[in-house]
Amino acid sequence: MELLRKYSAEGMLIFLCIYLLGAFTGPLLQKFGHPELGQKVTAIYRVFCHQRVERSMFILGQEGFIRFYSLDELEAKGVIPAENPYVPKALSTSIYGHPYVGNDQVGYKVALCIRDLAIYVALVAFGLIYILKYRISGKDLPYTFKWGLILALMLPMMLDGGFQLIAEIFDLSWVPDAYFASIWKRIITGGLFGVGFGMLIFPNLISSNNMLYNKQEDR
């Protein structure tokens, strides 16, 4: 237990890696002969992510190892119905989220949307680099610009996500479809947010551990 407290940053990194890799186990199980188990794994992630098909990555399909699809493309292929039976009409008949997991043709949906994937990949990458750097050199990030940089990195996703939610709720027809359809926008803003969030949690975990152990040594 003491070792776990001392290396809580490493523990957090391991947990995030397991969570990230777990999002791929669902489609892998479905592809390789265990559809029921794969769908159960994917269902667990429904609590944490909307898994909307037009904002998700499909893997291991006949049409490509990694693919992204719009609703129109999936409807044209006949893999989703023209009218969504999965959500109340009062919410939106254009939102295909949790239940659709894919098939051999289009591939199987990763259990996290592309923005969440970008967040966790960036978070894990930053955590790994930061922990290695700190353990080798013992130096923290410069405090003179850290908080401003964190805000600058996290703000684009917060603004984009907030505006996107408002645009969908109030059906702002003047917002171009390309804005909603952009995968790269989600990858970039999610990746920046992940780095910013990593700057927030990993240095503070290590700093808290150092303060705790310094106090114990002083006693």
Secondary structure (DSSP) of 164-218: HHHHHHTT-TTS-HHHHH-HHHHHHHHHHHHHHHHHHHHHHHHHHHHHHHHHHHH
| 3-state SS class at 120 | helix
Q: Which of 127, 130, 97, 121 is nearest to 111 (CA)?
A: 97
Domain spans, the chain: 2-113, 116-218
Angstrom distance (rounded) from CA 119 to CA 131: 18
**211 vs 164: which has the higher pLDDT:** 164
63-90 pLDDT per residue, tens: 999 999 988 898 888 888 766 665 544 4
For residue 113, pLDDT beyond 90: yes
SS3 state at 41: helix
